[in-house]
Amino acid sequence: MTLIQLILKSILNRKFTVSLTVLTIALSVTLLLGVERLRTESRTSFANTLSGTDLVVGARSGAIQLLLYSIFRMGDATNNVSWQSYQTIINDPRVAWAVPLTLGDSHHGFRVMGTTVSYFTHYRYGGDHALRFTSGAPFSQLYDAVLGSDVAATLGYTLGEEIVIAHGSGNMTLFKHDNKPFTVVGILAKTGTPVDQTVHVTLEGIEAIHVDWQSGSRPLPGLEVSAQQAAQRDLTPRSITAILLGVKAKTTTFKLQRFINEYPQEPLLAILPGVALQALWEMIGVAERALIAISLFVVMVGLTSMVAIIITSLGERRREMAILRSVGARPAHIILLIVGESFALALSGALFGVLLLYALLLVAQPLMAAQLGIYIAIGWPTSAEWQLLGAVLGAGLGVGFVPAYRAYRYSLADGMTIRL
């Protein structure tokens, strides 16, 4: 009988305890690889949210704060950019294109963003992917609205339906602009970015629903302006939240950034999206490392449990070891037997852990995309994941020497002695 056959028979002889050990290791490996997959895919998802934009401009605050509210629709701006400053910036000869953004309202918890048709032309994500429509087209009328894919799917909207925008962000809104409804004219294809969870309307539409507001307060009863009356007024925005800029020549990016940051008319901030994203990941890098450390500790607990089970079983296998010694097995063979069992359990746990991970990914992928806007790819393990699996197997092989040394110290007489 070969050593491998002996290892398999020994494992099959203890099915219940072996199954529990393999399950423990499998769950810990699933957690370890799941955290790594979530970390890398989250980073990729964030990095792919915006591409092709050279500068993001907003009121002077922090680079990360500007990135969060303008691109990820998280939080609110401390101040706005005046329309005069916007006109000055877009007329700069170094600017190739500009997309104005206005935030502040919501619809059933989804953020509403005012912009222009240029948004659908110049916005890029995931490298160089342009926005696509599954149905309809960009807005062309004052009260038109274009929905992100998650908004349409969650609320069950189709083309031609009327929606009412509420003042303020989030689900807690105090006032609805129900006298100025918008009509759905387009639904965007899935992007895996915050675009999916955004209601897009015209800049003029945002101005129209607030035309009768004074100092941020709702109009008094009887003083409201109807949708038709608002359409007759000058709806040129007085201010916007942020600007996405593309430059004609990449060499002028830093000069344009310095010009905006030193703009004398009002305090503005221009950031490089890639640099701001890197700063964001450095800020949350501590949490990433903490998650990986916790996962590694869980794996070590699983391997420690395996060692404890093997050592405990040695008390019941003393006679087995003695019989093996009596038929010619050397101490080295006993060591290889125990270490081989340990490695086989670690390998089985790792394989089942990978299978469990992919089963969970199949279930969680659509939920993560819909609820968090994070698309978790289901593909072959990455190089980092292979390294983690190799580390688990190496640890499983290494810790096997602990019970192997214990078994090595047993003498032939120990196994033959009957203990009362």
Length of the chain: 420
pLDDT at site 257: 95
Q: Spell out the domain ranges in the chain.
A: 3-46+284-416, 55-271
* One-letter amino acid of 299: V
Burial class (CB in 10 A: 0-12, 13-18, 19+), 376: buried
* Average predicted confidence (pLDDT) for the chain: 82
Cα separations in angstroms, 106 against 67, 164, 177, 191, 220: 19, 9, 11, 20, 22
Q: Report pTM.
A: 0.70
Q: Is the pLDDT of residue 7 over 70?
A: no
> Among 84-98, 135-149, 153-167, 362-376, whose mean pLDDT is lowest?
362-376
How much of the chain, in percent, has pLDDT values that exceed 70?
81
Q: Is the pLDDT of residue 190 over 50?
A: yes
Q: Which residues lie closer than 8 Å to 155 by C-beta, 6 or more apart? A: 108
- SS3 call for 157: coil
Q: Is the pLDDT of residue 413 over 50?
A: no
Q: Is the pLDDT of residue 411 over 50?
A: no
**Token pair recorded at residue 320:** 């087995």
Task: Identify the band that residue 103 occupies on the pLDDT scale cut at 50, 70 and 90.
Answer: very high
> Among 49-63, 169-183, 199-213, 223-237, whose mean pLDDT is lowest?
169-183
Average pLDDT over residues 290-315: 75
Q: Which residues lie closer than 8 Å to 317 by C-beta, 6 or more apart? A: 407
pLDDT at site 11: 66
